[in-house]
Every structure is written in C-alpha cells, then in structure tokens.
Structure 1
Amino acid sequence: MRTCRTRAAGTAVALLLAASALTACGDDGNGAGDGAPPELEIAVGGAADQVTVPDDNPIKEALEEQVGATITSVRTPENLAAMLAAGDAPDFFRLNRTQLDLYASQGLLLDLTPYRDRLQEYIDFVGEDVFELGVIDGKPQAVVRKPAPASYVTYWIRADWLATLGLALPTTVEDFEQVLQAFTTGDPDGNGSADTYGLTGSSTAFNPFAPLWGSFGTAGPGRFYVEDGAVVNGYTDPDTPAAVEYVQRLVGSGVVDPDSFSIDFNEARDRAFQGRAGVMAAGWDAMKKQEFVDAAAAAQPGADWQQLPVMSGPAGDGYITLDPYGASFFAVPASVGEDEAKVDALIDLLNYVSTDEGNRLVSFGVEGTHYTADGDTLAALPALDEDGGYFFVYQLTGRDEETYLEVKFPDEKPFIDVAAAQPLTLVYDSLVVPPEGYTASDAERYATEQLVQFLTGAKSLADYDAFVDELTGQFRYAELIDAGAAQLDELGLTD
C-alpha cells in the first residue's frame, strides 16, 4: 500500500507542475502570461499602410522602454471584421464612424469606461469634447485623435501670367472669372497659341471648385455643416444653385480644363506645372515641398506660383471647408480586455504620446539627433528629414499641428500661414452614419453623375430642384440628411 501511495503522490505532483507550467505560459505569446513583455500591434491605416517602418528605430525603442511592451506597426487588415470576430485583429486600429457604430453594436470593441480615469492625460491632450465623439450608446469605445485645426488648401495662381497680362490678384469671384478668361484667351505664355486654360484640377470631390463654394454661402454639394444652430446639407442648401450656376458659366465659357472631371490630382498638377493652366486648388504641401518646387521649376522655369486665398462673392467674404475628423477614429478589440498586461501597456502608450515629452518624441524624434531644443523652441536637424518619414505612425493621439509645421517646415511657414488664415467652415461628413437600409453607393453615384451634368451645362439649372427631389426621394437621401442632423445634434455640434 505504501508504494502505491507514493506513486499516487508522485503523479499528483507531476500534474500540479504541468498545470503550473501551462498557467505560466498562459496565452499564445503576445500577452505577458510567461513574464515576457506584452506585444502591441498598431494599425493606424491611411498613409501608414504605404510606408515602411524600420524594425529597429529610435521612436519604437523609446516607446517600448517607456511602456514595457514591444510595439509593432502593421498594415490594416483587409478582413478586419472577420479578424475582430475571431479575436485576431491588431490591438489598436483605425476605423471610420460607420464601422465604429457597427462593431460596437456587435460587441467587438473594448468598452473604455473602466479605464477612463486612467486615460486622463490622453483626454486632456485631445479635449473632453473630442473624447466624447467616441462614445457609442453611452460607452466610450474609440480613441479619437486631436483634430486638424485648419485647412491648408488654397487656389494657386500664376502671378507671372497676371503680370504679363497687366492683371491684379483677384479678390472677388467676378474678378476671378475675368482672370480665367484672360488666362485662356490672352496668350499668357506668349507662345502665340491658344493652348492654355484658366483653371484645372482633379475629379476628386470636385477639387477645382473647392475654394469657390464658400463665396456663395454653401460648403459644397453633399457636405454636412451647421448654420445658425441647424444642420445643413449641401445638396439641399438654397445657396448651392447659385454656386453651381457660376461654375456652369466658367465651364461653358471654356476657361476650365475639360479633363478636370476625369483626371487625378497628380495629372492636374503636372498640367499646371507644364503651363497648360494658370490656376489650381491644392494644399501648400502639394506645391511647396521641395520636390514639387523643383518639378515646377523644371517644367516651366520662371513660373511664379502664388497663393490666392478665398474670394468674396454673393454671400460675402467666402470661406474654405474642413472636415476635422476625417481620419480620427481608432479602437481596441474587445478581446484585448482579456489581457490585463496588454491593456495596461496600451493605456500607458496612449497617455505617454499625449504628454509634452511623448508627443515631442513621436513628432520630432530624439533630441540631439533629430532636433535641438532651447526651452520650448525647437529646431530641426538634417536627420529629421532623413528619418522622419515614418514618425507619424506613432502619433496615435495626434499632434500639436502648429508647432509640428513650424519645426518641420520653417521655410514653408508663410504659405502655411496664408492657408490657415482663411475663414473656415467645419463640415462633419465623417461623423454621419447612414441609417439602416440606406444604400450610400447608389445615392452618391447618382448625385455625382447629375452634378457633373449641371456643372458642365449638359443639364439646365432649371432641373436642379427635380434632381434634389429624386435624390431625396427615390434614393432616400432625405433619410441620410435626417439621420445626420440627429447624430450631429446628439454629438453637441449644433450648439
């Protein structure tokens, strides 16, 4: 009996040791159950999906040391919904407001309510009102980045052509029309050929006309914005037809590159640089970063591209528009909540990159290597240009945009300031979740096709009201407008 009892005891000890070993291993290796640091996968999407982030880089190393975890930047999965359902999604990923609403309703996202007090440094950085935009059904379920403070899009105009033709920089839409006409018919390049247009641009979101809408008192077709405490949609805004009529007149008079309704931005910019048009709409970075300055000079030596801020029109001084939340929403899978060490590391990471020290690191790199500091005054070193192309991947909660631009682009500051000084109207398209049963693709396709016909003169403006009736009725766009109005009001954006 004694031998039997000894063997039983030995078996019990072996089972206990085996169970202990399994408990120590705990998970599949990307948590901290085995005593190793937790592994965080971040997928910030957008441009980050196109950039190569070095496996060993000083930003990653500094962040890992700060939070006690390994941090890996990964591309956004194509099958995000399936990976969320299977518990295999990245630990921090970008999504839009519609996805946020859907995944939250399916219980696939981590409810941040228990961690709210621990996220205070992040909340202080972005602002309480911004944090609240990630609340779904009373629960914070998104990390919302600090929004962009300004639009950097302006018209750019050939000032040398103005000088050749004896014209001043236009300040009204009436002056602008005359300038475009002169650029088209007045041989501004002096080559004796009728080979120039006044205006060119890309087909994306009716880019050539973006700085014009505000001069007529509308943010543009399809945009959601607030006027006098009420949500307005650009298609049904009573000010929109006058703007459409103006553009129709420009197109009809032949001053707009007809390919502007089909080409992409790069092609449009190439045409402008080659001297085929004298005005285009673009951000300062698409015109004044050194590579584009060089391209313009190579294509047309002596070309003088200057900014043309928004012009006054029938509605007054005019304005440019900005959707500040277009790429602002990030979430954490609900499955991450099962790994306390990973949650702790992620909270520490979000808080740290929201502090002065952490945000400076992810914006400008390592002091002494990428920049110098004299108190709050920073100056970029050559290494910031050489290495800084991927730093934005770690700006998980955003950045201080004004300081960032001043440090990284000091020579371009005059152009940045001109753009940022334009009157601004915020649009909230990215916050509107389509109602159930609404087919956005069908409505958007129909609206875009019809608007092109109005802008090009293929359809008479007398038919605009009938177009709106069909869009809001047959294509159920009225339901989207109503949903958007209710949602933006609930978010406190109509106050």
Structure 2
Amino acid sequence: MVHRKRSKLKKWVVGAAAVALIITSGCSNKPDSTEASTNGSGSGSEEPYELVYLTTGDQGAKPLVPNDRIVAEINKRLNIKLTVKIAPEFSYDKINVAIASGDLPDVVTTQYPSSSVSQWIREGILVPLNDYFDKLPTIKAKLDNGLQWTAVDGKYYGYPFVSGAEKSNYTVQFRQDWLDKLGLEHPKTLEEFHGTLKAIVEKDPDGNGKADTFGFVTNKPVAGEALTAFDFVLYAYGLPNSDYVLNDNGEVIPRFEHPAFKAGIEELRKWYDEKLIDPEFIVYDRPAKEQKFFQGKAGIMDGPLFRHVSRVEGSLKQVNPDGVLGYAPPPAGPDGKQGMAVRSKNALFTAVTNKAKNPEKAAQFIEFMLSKEGRDLLQLGIEGVHYTKQGDTITYNEAEREKDGFAANGWSHPLAWGNVTWPIDQNYLPQTEPNIERALDSVKVASKYFVPNLITRKTEAEIEYGKAVNEVYNQYFVNLLNGKLDVDQGIAELGEQWRQAGGDEILKQANEEYKNQGAGK
C-alpha cells in the first residue's frame, strides 16, 4: 500500500526469545471520559479499558507513530486505551512465541487454520464470540455468509478473514521496455514464454554489454508453505487442481503424481539448464526478488499487482527512469490450458484471548475494525483533519496524514490492512491512485485464471502435517528443477518421502473430505 520502506523495527523480548515487533509508543492515549463514544459498552464515567492488540502487519505499511491521532480516535470512540504490537507480515512464528510465553494480548491476529489456533482453542486460550453477537453485527453477517465451516462445536473462536476468494492480483510481470526494445509481444504460449526468456538472457536488453541478466526470478515460499511460483507452467500442461488430483479410480492423490507435473518439470528443467531462471531464487524473499527485477537482473517475475502497480513501477523507475512495468495472463500450454491464481485455504484469524478482562469490549474492537465506521477511519482518517469531502470527491490532506503514519498518495493507516481485510477484498483504491485503470485491469486479468481446489478446506491432517510434507515437496522440487535428480526417479522418491512425512494420513482424510463434499458434485 505504501511506497516507502519500513524503518528499523524495535525489539520486543518474550522470555528467552527476541521477537521483532513494532510497539506503539504514546499511542495508548487516554480519552477524555466525557468524550467516550456510546459505541463502547461503558458509560462516559467508565475508565477506559486497557486493550493490547498483537497482530501481523502489512509489508507495505509505514510504522505506527507516537501520539497517533487515529489510535486516539479509536480510544475515544470505544472508550479504550489501545496498545498495538505488530509483527512483520507473515511472521506467524513470532505471534506463536508471544502466545506460548503466556504474556497474552487481549486480541490477536494470526494464520488460520493452523495447529497453533487449534491448540489455543483446545486449551481455552481463545474466547468464543457467540455470546456477544448482538454487539457484533458485521462479524455475525460475515460468519453467516459462507464461514460456518469455521465453527467448532457451534462456537466461533474468532473472525477468519479469507482473502481472494473471487478476485486475484497474482500475475506474470515483465519489463515492458525490454520487450519493446527486443521487438517482442507479450508471450501468450509456453513456447513464446521460453523464447522471451532466451531473448532477455542473450540479447542484452539493458545494453550494458554484460551477460548478467536472467529471464525469470521468483522467491522462496512463506515458511511452512509449498513452493508454487512455477505452478503456472504445471497448469499450462494440464494440472487440473491446485491442491490434489484424482487417479483413474477416483481416489485423491498428490498433485505431483499427475502427468502434467512431470511435463511441467521437464519444461522448467530446460529453462534452468539454459540459465533462464535465477538459480538463487530459493534464498530470496519477495523484497529481494523485486530488487533483482528493479535492478535489471531479471526481466520477468511473478507477484501481486492491484495496489502494487504504482509501487513496483515507481521503484523500477527509481533505478531506471525508462523502466516500464508490464503484466499479462499466464502462458498457455500445448492444449491451450492456462492457470495461475488459486483460492487460498488460509485465513487471517482475529480472536479474543482469555487474558481479556472485558472480552465483550475486546470483541467490539474487532467489530470496529471490520465495520464501515472503522474502515472509513482507517482508510481515510478523521474528516476535517486528514481529508475533506465534497459530494463523492475526497481531498486528502497529505501533510496531516503523514503525521499519523498514513501511506502517501491517499493510502491508508498502518492498522488498515493485514489483520481483518486487504485492499483487494475491499476493492479499495484512493481517488489519487495514479495507475487506477491498470490496477483494476490487473485484477481483471488475474481473476480469469483461477485454478480450482479439489478439496475446499484444510483437513486436520493437513494442518498437522502440512509443514512437514511441504518441506519434503520443496526439497524435491528444487532438486528436480536443477537436475540433481532424475525426473521419474525423483517423483517416485518424492511420493514415498511425502507419504512418510504425514502424507498417508493427509490422503486418508482428503479422500474422506472429498466424499463428504459430494464427490465433487
């Protein structure tokens, strides 16, 4: 959302482990009791409730600032005294360490489903929200609209936000200026894609006279997840589902045992042998991958667009003023098949812990973050201070917004994203977004190429053994890609090791789940 880098993170030490968190300083402003909002459960004479919120952040957000007026406004409206602790985006391990230490927050956001959340529910660490539904209309409506499967024995232990169910921003991105220089169109097929990669590597599009450019660069997966960055090639060869596939007997089996996986690996191995893929990708995180793209070390990458269009192209132009970002649908395979986007089975789960002395007030804080009132505050700020509105036209006061950590160019407050929603799910772009047409078009393009899941949700076995089997899969995928393993032998060994790491139990439950959901009907 923001086009600036985070400042250095402070350290929050939990027990013997150093957990990197941003902690608000001076953001727990005590509201004037006479101004306490009736939205809270208390009266104006009630002392503000001290509420600690531990959450994962947004990679693009600015840090929270001392004396933040948005936090102060939340305090006033809810009659609370809010302290926010933010772990870096996707750093769920830091959240888990914090909870394991016993130093619980009132409200926590983490990954779901996960073994940690299941354990917290079993141990009574999370408080059911059902008793407070009369004060949580937004949460209740969202739970009733397709999230009933998240209930445990009829009780909802938090709000699970599943992103990207109908829309995607995951695309193939490339240096449009390089393609123009080389006289190339957007590659529409795998054959054309391969040719484009070769041209980028061999024809010196950056004009520096050095063979120092790779065709494609990606990044390692988030910890515990499977490597999926090359899956668009597997889908081009006809892989029908993103999670599992069926064998000839109608049984659920691992997707890497489908013929399309072997065909895709053989194609990718050719790219790797021809030095078209950056071989160091497995050590890159997303920012490192993007830096390779910005610096002209690679001409094509995968990644999200929508709100990132301006950020990616802006960063590219900082290094090369003539750089132009392009994007396109995934390439089609020999039979015209294409795919790239998948519907995630993961969610962001925001819950109240048993540490909360006032669980109803803590639940109302989550409700506020989801409500229109809360979204308007976090996206726009305080009317008359951070923005003014005339009809449907919004004028952003950037000088005042900057004082409270709002991202530049009409983007939002640090608490706006990375907890209960993302911009794409809100269809949110500020009116000042300079690339609004391309941002919206990137979603339109990406959303055409969803690949279905065979199993609609994670089973308990997948939650328990998912990390272990994904580690096996990733190791074998990389070794198949770089030629350290024979393709047929490697896939066979992968099947054996994957099953031994928990895959047998995963397949057992996956087959049961498939039957329960009507055998795909």
Distance 2:308 2:359 in 1: 42
Aligned partner letter, 2:365: L
Aligned to 2:107: 92
Equivalent in the alignment of 1:407: 430
- Corresponding residue of 2:28: none
User: How many positions carry a matched residue from both structures?
Assistant: 454
Alignment partner, residue 120 of structure 1: 137
Alpha carbons of structure 1 residues 53 and 302: separation in structure 2 relative to 1, 3 Å:
closer
Residue identity over aligned pairs, in percent, reads 21
Deviation by residue 1:68-121 (Cα, 9 ceiling, x = unmatched): 22222124655444455xxx4111102332222121122222122322343222
Bigger Rg over Cα: 1
1:59 aligns to what?
70
What is aligned with 2:303? 282
Q: Within 2, Cα distance between the matches of 1:476 and 1:494?
A: 24
Q: 2-side partners of 1:454 and 1:381: how far apart?
A: 53
Matched, 1:253 2:236: no
| 175-184 or 68-77, larger mean C-alpha shift | 68-77
- Which of 285, 288, 306 matches 1:267? 288
Partner of 2:85: 74
Q: Answer whether contact 1:323 1:430 (CA < 8 A) is retained.
A: no
**Residue 469 (structure 1) aligned to one of 486, 495, 514:** 495
CA distance in 2, matches of 1:494, 1:419: 30
Higher mean Cα deviation, 274-283 or 169-178? 274-283
Shift of 1:352: 3.2
> In 2, Cα distance between the equivalents of 1:429 and 1:391?
36
In the alignment, the residues of structure 2 paired with residue 184 and residue 267 of structure 1 have an alpha-carbon distance, to the nearest angstrom, of 20
Residue 215 (structure 1) aligns with: 236
Greater shift in the superposed pair: 176-185 or 371-380:
371-380
Match of 2:349 among 326, 329, 339: 329
Q: Post-superposition shift, 1:420?
A: 1.0
Asked if structure 1 preserves the Cα contact closer than 8 Å seen for 2:455 and 2:514, the reply is no
Q: Which residue of 1 aligns with 2:217?
A: 200
| 2:247 matches 1:224 | no
- Match for 2:506: what amino acid? L
Q: CA deviation at 1:465?
A: 4.1
2:420 corresponding residue in structure 1: 397
Which residue of the other structure, out of 179, 188, 191, is the alignment partner of 2:205? 188
- Once the two structures are superposed, what CA deviation does each residue of 1:395-433 show, in whole Å capped at 9, x if it has no partner? 653266365632166213233223311222366999635
Contact 1:310 1:318 in 2 (8 A): yes
Q: Take 1:294 and 1:49, find their aligned partners in 2: how far apart are those partners?
A: 14
Amino acid corresponding to residue 476 of structure 2 in structure 1: Q
**TM-score, structure 2 normalization:** 0.74
After superposition, the Cα gap between the structure-2 partners of 1:326 and 1:58, relative to the gap in structure 1 and judged at 3 Å, is: farther
Match of 1:45 in 2: 56
Which residue does the alignment assign to 1:13?
A: none
Q: Give the residue type in structure 2 aligned to 1:188.
A: P
The residue type equivalent to 2:316 in the other structure is A
> In the aligned structure 2, how far is the partner of 1:368 from the partner of 1:490?
54
Alignment partners' CA distance in 2, 1:70 and 1:489:
49
| Secondary structure in structure 1 of the residue aligned to 2:415 | helix
1:176 equivalent in structure 2: 193
RMSD after superposition: 3.9
Residues in 2 aligned to 1:266 and 1:134: alpha-carbon distance in whole angstroms = 33
Residues 105, 355 of structure 2: 8 Å contact kept: no
Is the Cα contact below 8 Å between 2:167 and 2:425 reproduced in 1? no
Structure 1: unaligned runs, 5 residues or longer: 1-30
8 Å contact kept, 1:226–1:494: no
Q: 1:320 aligns with which of 326, 337, 340?
A: 340
Inter-CA distance 73–267: structure 2 relative to 1 (3 Å threshold): closer
CA distance in 2 between partners of 1:381 and 1:75 (Å) = 26
- 1:27-42 maps to which residues of 2 (within 5 A)? 35-42=46-53
Query: Deviation per CA, 1:338-387, whole angstroms, max 9, x where unpaired?
Result: x4xx2332333333333322221122211233333345554544244663
Structure-1-length-normalised TM-score: 0.78
- CA distance in 2: counterparts of 1:437 and 1:60, whole angstroms: 35
Deviation, 1:324, is 4.3
Cα distance in structure 1, aligned partners of 2:463 and 2:70: 45
Determine whether 1:432 maps to 2:458: yes
Higher alpha-carbon deviation: 96-105 or 48-57 = 48-57
Paired letter, 1:357: E
